[in-house]
A and B are shown apart, each in its own frame.
Chain A
Amino acid sequence: MERWSWNKMLKIKKLKKHFGGVRAVDGCNFQIQKGKITALIGPNGSGKTTVFNLISGVLKADSGKIIFNGQDITGKGVSEISNLGVSRLFQQARLFDNLTVRDNLKLAIEDKDTKFWKNLLKGNKLSEDKNERIRNVSELVGIIKLQNNLARNLSYGQKRLVGIARAMLNYHNILILDEPVAGVTPSLRKKISEILSKLRKEGETVLLVEHDMNFTLGLADRVVVIDEGKIIAEGTPKEIKHNPKVLKAYFGR
C-alpha cells in the first residue's frame, strides 16, 4: 500500500496510452488535491480527453498507475470506478433521451435499481432524502422547472445543466467534468461558474478540462498543463499564465 498523504485524492503515475503510432498519453504524472478545483489544460490533441477516459475507465492504460483515494483503480471497469466515487461528465451531455429529466436524475442517485427481485416484488419508491437531494440540486443548477420534460426535447444549454446535475447527484468523491462550458452562452457560462464555486465552498473536489482560458484561470485553484501527452507545468493560475513552457506550447512551435 502506498504511503498516502491525506489530501491527495487522485494520483496519476507514469500513465501511458498509445493508439498505434500516436502517443496520446506519454508518461503522465500529476496529483489532484482534495477540496480544490483543478484544471487540466493544454492545446488541442494534447491528450486531455484521453486522460479523462483513462481515469474513468473508458479506456485502459497501456502502463502506469491511477490511484484514487489510496486505491489502485488502473484497469478497472467503468461502473466499478464510478462506484468507488469517480463521477464523470462527458463533453456531450449523453443524457437518456427517451426518459424525462427527473428519470435521468433518479438514475444518478438511485443505487438499488439494479436489484431485480426487490424491484419486482416490493417496488421501490425513492426515499424522501433522495427526493430532497434531487430537489436541491435541481434548484442549484436551475432545472427545477424541467423535471417532466423528455431529455431529447431540451436545448443544448439545458442538456448541459442536466448533465451537471446528474454528475452531482451520482455518488462521488470527485467530479470529473469534460469541457463543462463548451459552446454555451455567456450567461450560462457564468451560471456554471457559480455552480462550481459553490461546490468548492462545500468542499467538493473537482477536476476539469476546458479550452476556455478565462473561465478556467478565473475559477481553478490549481492548473495542470499537458502537452503531447506529458505534463509540462503545474501551479496556480497566476504561475501558469506566465510560465514560458506553457506559452510555448500554446503559441510557440
Chain B
Amino acid sequence: MIEAYIIHLLILIGIYVILAISLQLSLGFTGLLNLGHIAFFAIGAYTSALLTLNGVPFLIAFILAGIFAMASGFLLSLLTKKLKGDYLALATIAFTYVVYSVALNWTGLTRGPLGLPGISRPSIFGISFSSNLSFLILTLVILLISYLVIKKISTSPFGRVLEAIRDDELATKILGKNTFKMKSYALAISACFAGISGSLYAHYINYIDPSSFTLMQLIPILVIVIVGGLASLRGTIVATVVLILLPEALRFVGMPSSILGPMRQIIYAVILLLILLYRPKGFYGEVELE
C-alpha cells in the first residue's frame, strides 16, 4: 500500500520537475515573464489525449503534443513581441485563460466541462506501461532526457545569450544578437517540454478536464521555480520534491481531503510571499529576481 503511494508521489514529482525546468528555461534563464505556462501544459495534455483517443499511437501523440505546444510558444512569442513588463505578464496570463476558454467551450472537440475520460496508459512499440511502476520508469527516462537537453542548452553559448537577455536585453542587442529570435526559441522550447509533461500527465491520470488547467495551477510551479532559485536546475528539482511532499505530510496529520486542497494552496502562497520578501534568490539561485 505504502509502496503504491510512494510510486504515485514519485510520478507526480517527475511530471512536475519536467514542467518546472521547462519554466526555468523561459523565466529563470531568459527572464521572460511567462506566466502563461499552464496553457502549454494544457495544449500538450489535450493534444496527446485527443490523438490517442482517436487511435494514434502514444509515441506519435506524445511527440505531437510537444510540437503543438512548441508552435503555440512561437505564436505567443510573436504576438507579444512588443510588450514589456506588466503588460507582457498580463498577456501571458490572458493566454492561459484563452486556452482554458477554448477547452471549456469547444465542446465538439474537448467535450468541455465533461472532460476526456478513458485516456489509456502509454504503449510504445508493443511495450505497455500500464502499471504504475512501469509508468514511473517511463517518466524518469523522459525526465532524464529533458533535464539533459535543458542543461545542455543552458550551459552552452546559446544559453549564455539567453542569460544576457535576462540581465540586459538592450546590451545584448548592442552586441549584435537577434534577441527576438532568441526569446522565441526560448519560449518555444520551454513550451515544448511543458507540452510533453502535459502529455505524461494526461496518460497517467487517464482523465483530463479544463479545471486542471486554470491559472491556479501555475502557483505550485511558480513557487517551485522561485523557491528553488531562478536559473538553477538543481534547485528546481529539490524544490519540487520538497513542495510536493510538504502538503502530503498534512495527510498524515489527519487533515481531511476537503481541507487539503485549499491548505496546499495556502502553503504555496505563503511560501511564495515569504521568499519574495526575505529570500528572493531562492535557495540555490544566484540570480536576483528582476
Interface, chain A (partner B; CB < 8 A): 56, 58, 77-79, 82-83, 87-88, 90, 94-99, 103, 106-108, 110-116, 119-120, 123-124, 150, 152, 166, 170-171
Contact = CB atoms under 8 A, between A and B. Distances in A.
A171 B176 contact: yes
Contacts of A94: 168, 170-171, 174
B164 A99 contact: yes
A86 to B, nearest CB: 9
Interface string B175-198: 111110110010000000000000
Contact of A114 (B153, B174, B182): B182
Given A114-B181, A116-B158, A90 B163 contact: no
Given A82-B176, A150-B286, 16 more contacts: A78-B173, A79-B173, A79-B177, A94-B170, A94-B174, A96-B168, A97-B167, A98-B231, A99-B160, A99-B164, A116-B158, A119-B159, A120-B153, A123-B152, A170-B175, A170-B176
A87 B176 CA distance: 9
Given A113-B157, A120-B149, A79 B179 contact: yes
B288 interface: yes
B212 interface: no
B114 to A, nearest CB: 40
A108 B157 contact: no
Interface residues of B, number: 31
A190 B29 CA distance: 38
A119 B158 contact: yes
A106 B155 CA distance: 13
Contacts of A171: 176
Contact of A124 (B156, B170, B172, B185): B156
Given A83-B176, A123-B156, A98 B286 contact: yes
Nearest to B186: A116
B224 to A, nearest CB: 20
Interface of B: 149, 152-153, 156-161, 163-164, 166-168, 170-179, 181-182, 185, 231, 286-288
A208 B178 CA distance: 26
Contact of B175 (A97, A123, A150, A166): A166
A98 B152 contact: no
Contacts of A95: 167-168, 171
A152 B215 CA distance: 34
A110 B157 contact: yes
Contact of A113 (B160, B166, B287): B160
Contacts of B286: 98, 150
Contacts of A56: 174
In the A-B complex, the 4 residue pairs with the smallest Cβ-Cβ separation, listed nearest first, are A113-B157, A82-B176, A119-B158, A78-B173
